[in-house]
A = this chain, B = another copy of it.
Amino acid sequence: MTPISPKQSKSFRTSNPEADSAIDRTIPDFPAAQIPDEDKYFKTHKPPSYLGEISEQVSEFIEHHKKVTGKKVVLVTSGGTTVPLENNTVRFIDNFSAGTRGATSAEYFLENDYAVIFLHREFSLLPYSRHYSHTTNCFLDYMTEVNNKVEINPDFADQMLVVLRKYNDAKTSKSLLLVPFTTVNQYLYTLRTISELLQSLDSKALFYLAAAVSDFFLPQSRLPQHKIQSQATGKLIVDLEQVPKFLSRLVDNWAPSAMIVSFKLETDSSILIKKAKSALDRYQHQLVIGNLLQTRKKEVVFVTPDGKENWITLTNEQIDQDVEIESLIIPEVIKEHKSWVTNHDRK
């Protein structure tokens, strides 16, 4: 059960006949040792260069709400992570997610008086600006020229004022912190850093993990330096490793006093509940919100460790009125968080 020595590690690496050809070996390979996969991951992958800067911003944000506002803080993760297939990245594997769930949920948390750290895929949807980006409308279609001046098109002006006010409120009250990621490696390092800082808020920290995190990745040690060249008749075979299950680390070590909500997205309805329950069994956290890709905007299910399944479904009337399902989800999550805080304080 001890980590293998550098010498063993080297011999492990060179035993692979393909190892020294097209592959960059300047980064140490995965040791074939028995330490937990999550720890091994951080030992063999470099942190993003900007992590220190993010750590400072998050500390300041948490301190502000701890000492000045007394607000609860939720970490909302949003959007898909990428898995680069090359070191100078041209190709990558991505997880489908525009970030709608995360961006919309963040707004309802803010309206319910939470401070929000929004850990999101760069260029995915953001709270508030989501209403005007990623639509079929071009940004400039909201604008019009009046007397040699750009003005907001009157069709959109009233609604935009409402959104702008909420956005400016979030900014001036310092209730929203935007933290971007792109790759799964950036996501994992940033999540760990933020989690460890949030632990200082004890049970008043909430994790709402809506990002679509890749299950598979290509270890840095196996990344080719340059763009993969296609051969005359060649196929591309991508041999990926499983991403270690970080949720157990989050629950056990990084932020053990926080309430943790994860999402389970499936496309096959027959396995959704089973997968949600097995996630709860495995990680011992507090809530899984299950949803199907096809119906995710009108139906979700809360699965809790007591075995209960609580479905939240928009009525046809609500759908006609453009009610967002997150406006129903967030108050339910907050109720659960309230009990969590109460139970925690009692201990």
Interface positions of A (Cβ within 8 A of B):
82, 85-86, 88-96, 98, 123, 126, 128-129, 132-134, 138-140, 143, 145, 148-152, 157, 160-161, 163-165, 167-168, 212, 214-216, 225-227, 230-231, 233-242, 265-268, 293-294
Contact = CB atoms under 8 A, between A and B. Distances in A.
B93 A89 contact: no
Contacts of A214: 91
A126 B138 CA distance: 8
B240 A236 contact: yes
14 contacts: A90-B265, A90-B267, A91-B95, A93-B238, A132-B139, A133-B133, A133-B139, A143-B152, A143-B160, A150-B164, A215-B236, A226-B266, A234-B242, A237-B239
A148 B98 CA distance: 32
Nearest to A160: B150
A268 B226 contact: yes
A294 B234 CA distance: 27
Contact of A167 (B93, B95, B140, B242): B140
Nearest to A233: B242
Contacts of A242: 230-231, 233-236
B230 A235 contact: no
A250 to B, nearest CB: 18
B88 A267 contact: yes
Contact of A157 (B89, B149, B235, B294): B149
Which 9 residue pairs spanning A and B have beta carbons closest together? Answer: A88-B267, A129-B139, A215-B230, A236-B240, A238-B238, A226-B268, A216-B236, A129-B138, A94-B94
A38 to B, nearest CB: 15
Contacts of A152: 143, 149-152
A293 B89 CA distance: 9
A17 to B, nearest CB: 18
Contacts of A91: 93-96, 214
A133 B157 CA distance: 19
Contact of A240 (B128, B160, B235, B241): B235
A57 to B, nearest CB: 14
Given A88-B293, A93-B92, A163-B140, A239 B230 contact: no
Contact of A235 (B96, B227, B241): B241
A94 B227 CA distance: 13
A337 B276 CA distance: 59
B235 A238 contact: no
Contacts of A90: 95-96, 212, 265, 267, 293
B128 A138 contact: yes
Nearest to A130: B139
A212 B89 CA distance: 12
A268 B260 CA distance: 44
Please indicate which of the listed interface residues A128, A134, A149, A212 has the most CB atoms of chain B within 10 Å of its own CB.
A149
A94 B152 CA distance: 35
Nearest to A157: B150
Contacts of A134: 123
Nearest to A230: B215
Given A91-B93, A237-B238, 19 more contacts: A89-B96, A90-B95, A90-B265, A91-B95, A128-B138, A129-B138, A139-B139, A140-B163, A143-B152, A143-B164, A149-B157, A150-B160, A215-B236, A216-B236, A233-B242, A235-B239, A236-B239, A238-B238, A238-B240
